Amino acid sequence: MSVLHDEGRRFSRYLVGSEVAPDVLERYVDGVARLGLAARSGSDAALLDFVHRHAWSLPLLEAAVAAVRRESALRGRLLLMLALCETTPELAEVFLPQPRGRIAALGRVARLGAAGACKAACGLLLLPFAARGPGGR
């Protein structure tokens, strides 16, 4: 399997909590090529490489690039995998809204907002190091 297949598996586990079917992975690999989601700079390539080597960093760096590097390959690839997961019938339950009371929904929004802000703050601290690559390039 290729690096993109491994990346697709990692991204799907992060986004929906499980690996996707092989045909979804193939669509991911094809989509990366067709949509031109290759790294556009050395720092973009270093960032992808860092995420491949340090899977724990994905939530932090995803939040950071959403804030300051909206055109990064990492963000584009995550959005591609999200779109593929969202349109996969087997994963429909993950994306359908769950019935909640108003207070529970507000509490969930507050918790997710606070978690997102913390991830973004930590990711913004990590981003310069991750984008530099090994050896401080």
> In the block, which residue shows the tokens 């918790």?
111
pTM exceeds 0.75, yes or no: yes
Taking residues 23-48, what's their average pLDDT?
94
The pLDDT of residue 93: 86
pLDDT in tens, 115-128: 999 999 999 999 99
**What is the reported pLDDT for 20?**
94
Give the residue carrying structure tokens 């598996």: 9
The tokens describing 83, both together, are 């779109």
What one-letter code names the amino acid at 5? H
Distances 122 to 28, 45, 66, 77, 87 between C-alpha atoms, Å: 28, 20, 13, 21, 31
Angle between helices 73-86 and 58-68 (to 10 degrees): 110
pLDDT tens-digit map of 53-97? 999 999 999 999 999 998 999 999 999 999 999 999 898 888 888
| Domain range enclosing 96 | 3-136
Number of domains forming the structure of the chain: 1
